[in-house]
Amino acid sequence: MNFICLFFPALILNYILDSKEKFNFLNFIIHYGIYNILVNSIMLFIINYIKENSYLILNSDAFTVSFSLKYMLLASVIALFLGLFIKYIRKNFNVTIKKK
C-alpha cells in the first residue's frame, strides 16, 4: 500500500502537465522522477509540520490503512493543484532572452 501512496500522485501530475506532448519514455521517466520528488517532499514537509516532530522517519510501520488513505488523498490533491498551477504559469508567463 505504501508504494501506491508514494508513487501514484506523481502520475496525476505527469498526466496533467505532459498529456499533450508526444510520448517519449525517457522524458516520461525524467519528469515522473522530478514530480515524484516534488510531491513527496511537500508531503513530508506537511507531515513534519503537523506532527511537530522534526525527527519523524516514515517507514513501513507508519503506513497504516487510515494513514495511507489520508496520505494518498492529500498527495493527490496537492499533485492536482500543483499541476494546474504549473500549467497556468506555463500558459500565461513567457521568458525571452535576447543576446546582443
Question: What's the chain's average pLDDT?
Answer: 84
Task: Count CB atoms within 10 A of the CB of residue 25.
Answer: 7
- Residue count of the chain: 100
Q: In whole angstroms, what is the distance from residue 83 CA to residue 22 CA?
A: 18
> Does the pTM exceed 0.75?
yes
CA distance 90 to 57: 35
Cα-based distances in Å from 89 to 22, 52, 83: 21, 32, 10
Cell numbers placing 98: 535576447
Q: Are 89 and 20 in contact (CB under 8 A)?
A: no
* Residues 4-28: tens digit of each pLDDT: 878 888 888 888 888 777 888 898 8
